[in-house]
Structure 1
Amino acid sequence: MAGGGIPSELLFGNPWIGLGSVLACLGLWLVLRNVFSSSQSIPYPPGPRALPLIGNAHEMPTKHPWIKYTEWAKTYGDVVGVKILGKRLVIFNSYQAAKEVLDKKSSIFSSRPRLPLVDMNSDWSLSLLLLPYGSDFQTSRKFMNSAVNPNAVREAQPAIQEQARVMLYRLWKEGPQFHQHNLLMQGSVILKLAYGHEVLGHDDEWIQVSERGGESMEDLGTVGGHPVDLFPILGKLPLWVWGSKFPKTMQSVKDSGINMHVKTYETVKDRHAKGLAAPSMATRLIDENMQKDGSVANEQAIAWSAGSIYSAGSDTTTSTLDFFLIAMLLYPEAQKKAQVELDKVLQHERLPTFEEMESLPYITAIVKETLRWRPVSPAGFPHLSTQDITYNGMFIPAGTMAIWNSWYILHDPKEYSYPEQFYPEHFVVPAEKQPLDPEDVIFGFGRRVCPGRHLARSSLWIAVASLLTLFDISCPLDEEGKPTKPDTDYIDGLVSHPKPCKAVFKPRSDGYLKALMQERESKGV
């Protein structure tokens, strides 16, 4: 599960199956709730007209929710309020509004809405992404931050750079299955950092466990929008009520949480006790929390914070780099500009390193533009308010879910000259003229800002610089000799992904290829 965001169709899906009579019994409660909530003198944020009982449930999109949110933004403004079956959702459609509330009032907007279906049937609620704000969250956040803070990431940059080189080598030797090589790079970086685990190939057991974990959460589908999430009392019903395959799905979700967090931790703990574990976040936290009697304090937080680095980081970074590939296929002029800059610095003699970051501003601009052009969490991720507040004359009560519409914020024509195009030049103007930095939006707000943002930034930068140094990237040709262009649409999910596409990777310089081979030989490859 990733740190970028849960689309609202996952929050407000419509999987009601054969329970009309049960749900009807809840109608009176909803009516009374609406009556009492309407007595507030300060108005709730404007939004589409809510119907009795169901509110705006009939208008909630089943896919690509940011499109509907954007329509509402153009009609109702920067802050839109909707009601869904007695629950409230506020959508922030401007950076200023999101910052004013989610940042400046972070003590109130730092919790998460509960997901009763997951809570009742798995341990996924222990993940840092889903933990409500409190002491458990603070402990897990502190543990994760110890491994991915700026200093820790700088120390990890040689390992990150090495995995970028391995990706280049695999693309050249094994063929252009870019998504798989990309996924392996991100997983290798994070598993090394979190557990000291060395990934040797696509058949690595730990990589496969994490992939199955992601698949199980995708199979769950409407995370946060299931009837049990809206009315927890329904959780007392047997799982088969929701379909014959549903018990198996929930068992897979439960198993994935244990396999990705608990079993990996226990494996490292056992290796560490025998003196066989490589240094990592997990081993360091075990040592720091070791008790006099040989037990380890805060084991649950250690296990789930280490596992959360993978579940919250790998998927989002992989998806972003997949979108970078699509941008290069559709906007070859940006690729050529980047390669001119790279050649000027590297002179066809060596591959890029992090030391060249200041000398390669167009590469940095490409990374930022990828984050802006196709944010992997276009509908944000929900915060939960714990107190009533008033913002710009609007009343937002405690218990309101609040999200920011990343898509609308990052495609605002008042902010970006060419919002629909991939245009890295947005970020190569003087600092005082640059538009809103997409990193200030996509990594979240307040006390829930993504702790892995520094790691993601480094992984993306060195991957982009390395790929554009070694390869010309182009569209494959169809039977008529015409370029087969990729689809830019999203596949909805916990993290939004691009649709699969094919690309041709052609080494563009004997000098750069020689530099790669010399590096690989020095590593014994």
Structure 2
Amino acid sequence: MALPSWVWTASLLLLPLAISRVIQNLARRRKPLPPGPRGLPLVGNLFDVPKTQDWLWYIKMSRKYDSDIISVNLAGNTVIVLNSLTAANDLLENRSSIYSDRPPFPMLIDLVGFHWHIAFMRYGPRWKEHRKVFMKQFQPSEVLLHRPKELKAARVLLRLFLDSPHKYERHMRHMAGMIILSTAYGIDILEENDPYVGISEKALQAMASAANPGAYLVDSLPILKYVPECFPGARFKKQAREWFKVVDIMPHLPYDFVKTARAAGTAQSSIASRVLDEIQENAEDDVRRDHELTLKNVLGTCYAGADTTVSALGTFILAMTMYPEVQKKAQAAIDEVVGRDRLPDFEDSIPYIDALVHEVLRWRPVTPLSVTHAVMEDDIYKGYHIPAGSVVVGNAWAILHDEATYGPKTDEFVPERWLTADGKLNTEMPDSSPAFGFGRRICPGRDMAQWSVWISAASILSVFNINKSLDKQGMPIEPPGEYTSGMLCYPIPHECDITPRSKAAEEMIRRAQLA
């Protein structure tokens, strides 16, 4: 039976496209992977990549192979590491349509239970719907609505520093939790041993430990998900089970609080209460359930985001302890604009504090390797083949310590690198956004996070001095400057003295609590 003429016509029209696609695929197969160390059979470079501060090892490999893009093999899984802003922008930004997926994360998602977190969702309709809801609540105009709660939390932080300065790390965690929980859910948290803050802390320890590629063998060999806990080498299963207890409840507990409060008529204004009002008015039952699940996941992601502020403020305290001359410049800048008889506000324009916050985020980025991406189809970049399904990592540490971009001595804390000669913020300078990720997967809450750090830093420096503690011989104790290692990194609390700049400053803190 003869084929219809339209079939022949369509075949002739599609033939060049098919031939072209075959040629492209053959060419890609001939292209090499980006350079990287040779690995062992089966396991590849699994034992080459260090378990801590792997971002520094990737920089070392980048220099060794004279390439800003390198590759490693983790038990058969190709990991592409981008060590320059150019490479990160070229792929994660300019080719974001194929570089915005996430890898499967067997440990983090399947075992630990972070399937509800937007940052780790696979790219597709579900992620887009969640992102849309998140962006609506944290677009710049909406962020302005959250500032009163940020300001209140900063004032509470000052009083806590005054009462028990040695607990500064706990107080910063309280402040960050206060902002997120009051903004998202309308929850007033306890100053000590708050259960919501405690759950967040435990869950985010799990995230920090489990999210980087190669952190657990199960990420390279997913079949290990199914081995029993008693199996030799399966301690990760027990750890995942313990983490799952808090990770699973994290988005539910505060959300259920809001639902109960709304039913009782006691709910405070919050993102949850406002959006739930909209859902109840405009949606049918089935649609409402879907919208509520999305909202719950979005708010849980907000809840989990508090620790980026904790980490950044910890770095701020460390920097002020190590660099007293920077602290004095910052205090002088605040005094010039604000004076000494009131506390800073969001309306104050203090370029040196703007620069200081950028330097905090650059000097010790919260996520040194950002959250890993995955490429959805074969690609070629700089003559290298990047296979579909490869894990792609933007090395934020390498990018933010690039001397060609940020000037010399990038391991030192120098806010002036962000300023022009006349003391204004240099708008031509690449900003600190790599600290928040890349492309379509950049953190949508970054504006609020930066402003939380800004008002906290400005407020602290306006009324406190941060100095090195003295040992028994009266000698200054140098901070070790050590950090935890994982997807999220935190400075390990160090000894320092946090004291009021004056009696008037102390009285101003007390008055602010009564206002």
When the two structures are superposed, what TM-score results if normalisation uses the length of structure 1? 0.87
Does structure 2 retain, via aligned residues, the 8 Å contact 1:220–1:250? no
Establish whether residue 73 from structure 1 lines up as the match of residue 62 from structure 2: yes
Aligned-partner Cα distance in 2 for 1:308–1:475: 36
The within-5 A match list for 1:115-194 is 115-194=105-184
Task: Pick the aligned partner of 2:450 from 444, 448, 457.
Answer: 457
Q: Residue type of the partner of 1:469?
A: S
> CA deviation digits over 1:167-212, x for unaligned, max 9?
0011112333110111100010000111111123122222222223
| Cross-structure match for 1:429 | 420
Q: Does 1:335 align with 2:324?
A: no
Cα offset, 1:247, TM superposition: 5.1
Q: Report the equivalent of 2:45.
A: 56
Deviation at 1:231, TM superposition (A): 2.2
In 1, distance between residues paired with 2:264 and 2:490? Answer: 41
> What is the CA–CA distance in structure 2 between the aligned matches of 1:507 and 1:39, rounded to whole Å?
63
User: Aligned pair 1:323/2:315, yes or no?
Assistant: yes
Determine the C-alpha separation between the residues in 2 that align with 1:345 and 1:207: 35
1:117–1:428 CA distance, 2 compared to 1 (3 A): closer
Q: What is the Cα deviation at residue 390 of structure 1?
A: 1.2
Pick one of 464, 485, 492 that aligns with 1:492: 485
Q: How does 1:341-380 map to 2 (within 5 A)?
A: 341-356=333-348, 358=349, 360-380=350-370
Partner of 2:299: 306
Q: Displacement of 1:365 after TM fit?
A: 0.9
Counterpart of 2:378 in structure 1 is 388
Bigger shift: 262-271 or 172-181? 262-271
Conserved in 1, the CA contact under 8 Å of 2:370 and 2:487? no
Comparing 451-460 and 79-88, the one that deviates more = 79-88
For residues 95-106 of structure 1, the aligned pairs below 5 Å read: 95-106=85-96
CA contact (8 A) 1:426 1:434 kept: no
Q: CA deviation at 1:229?
A: 2.3
C-alpha displacement of 1:128: 0.7
**Mean alpha-carbon deviation: is it higher for 134-143 or for 51-60?**
51-60
Give CA-to-partner distance per residue, 1:145-167, whole Å, 9 cap, x none.
Answer: 22222112111111101111110
- 2:5 maps to none
Measure how far apart 1:514 and its partner are.
3.0
If you compute each CA radius of gyration, which structure gives the higher value, 1 or 2? 2
User: Structure 2: how far apart are the matches of 1:213 and 1:188?
Assistant: 17
Q: 1:37 to 1:186 in 2, by over 3 A?
A: farther
Give the Å deviation of 1:57. 2.2
Distance, in Å, in 2 between the alignment partners of 1:432 and 1:355 is 16
C-alpha distance after superposition, 1:458-515 (max 9, x if no partner): 1000011001100111011001101111112321123111122121112113343333
Point out the more displaced range, 508-517 or 484-493.
Answer: 508-517
Q: Write out aligned runs for 1:494-513 (5 A).
A: 494-513=487-506
Deviation at 1:52, TM superposition (A): 3.5
Match of 1:30 in 2: none
- The equivalent position to 1:443 in structure 2, one of 429, 436, 449, is 436
1:89-132 CA-partner distances (Å, limit 9, x unpaired): 11111101100100011111111111223443353122111101
How many angstroms apart in 2 are the aligned matches of 1:207 and 1:175? 19
**Do residues 472 (structure 1) and 462 (structure 2) align?**
no
8 Å contact from structure 1 (residues 410, 438) kept in 2: no
Shift of 1:74: 1.0
- Secondary structure of the 1:447 match is helix
Which range moves more in the overlay, 167-176 or 284-293?
284-293
Shift of residue 301, structure 1, vs aligned partner? 1.8
- CA change 1:117–1:443 in 2 (3 A) is closer
Evaluate the alpha carbon distance shift between residue 154 and residue 221 of structure 1 in structure 2; reply closer, same or farther with a 3 A threshold. Answer: closer
CA distance in 2, matches of 1:444, 1:298: 27
Query: What's the secondary structure of 1:164's corresponding residue?
Result: helix
Task: Provide the C-alpha distance between the structure 2 equivalents of 1:432 and 1:163, rounded to a whole number of angstroms.
Answer: 26
Task: Tell me if the contact between 1:194 and 1:306 (Cα under 8 Å) persists in the aligned partners.
Answer: yes
Q: Partners of 1:394 and 1:39 in 2: how far apart?
A: 8
On the 8 A contact 2:210/2:216 being kept in 1, the answer is no
| SS, match of residue 390 in structure 1 | strand
* Partner AA of 1:176 in structure 2: H
Letter in 2 for 1:44: L
The answer to which structure, 1 or 2, has the higher relative contact order (CA under 8 A, 6+ apart) is 1
Where do residues 210-225 of structure 1 align in structure 2 (5 Å cutoff)?
210-217=200-207, 225=215
Whether contact under 8 Å (1:216, 1:249) holds in the other structure is no
Q: Secondary structure at the match of 1:420?
A: coil
Greater mean deviation of Cα atoms: 295-304 or 324-333: 295-304
- 1:193-232 equivalences under 5 Å are 193-217=183-207, 225-232=215-222
Residues of 1 paired with 2:244 and 2:41: CA distance? 37
Q: Residue 470 of structure 2 aligns to which amino acid in structure 1?
A: L
TM-score, normalised to structure 2, is 0.88
Alignment of 1:234-313 (within 5 A): 234-241=224-231, 248-290=238-280, 291-293=283-285, 296-311=289-304, 313=305
Q: Deviations over 1:308-362 (max 9, x none)?
A: 1121x21111011101111111110000011111111222111100000x2x111
Does the CA contact (< 8 Å) of 2:28 and 2:380 recur in 1? Answer: no
Figure out how many residues of one structure are paired with residues of the other and give that number.
Answer: 484
Distance 1:176 1:236, change over 3 A: closer
Q: Identity across aligned pairs (percent)? A: 34
Q: Is the 8 A contact 1:89 1:401 kept in 2?
A: yes
Counterpart Cα distance in 2 of 1:37 and 1:497: 46
Q: Which ranges of structure 1 fall in alignment gaps of 5 or more residues? A: 1-35
Partner of 1:10: none
Structure 1 counterpart SS, 2:162: helix
The answer to whether the Cα contact below 8 Å between 2:165 and 2:497 also exists between their aligned partners in 1 is no
In the alignment, does 2:29 pair up with 1:40? yes
In the aligned structure 2, how far is the partner of 1:330 from the partner of 1:406? Answer: 23
Shift of 1:246: 5.0
Q: Which amino acid aligns with 2:510?
A: M
Q: 1:219 to 1:434 in 2, by over 3 A?
A: closer
Instruction: Decide whether aligned partners of structure 1 residues 68 and 454 sit closer, same or farther in structure 2, where only a CA change above 3 A counts.
Output: same
Is the 8 Å Cα contact of residues 209 and 486 (structure 2) preserved in structure 1?
no
Can you list the C-alpha shifts for 1:419-448, whole angstroms capped at 9, x where unaligned? Answer: 121111101116796674342211111110
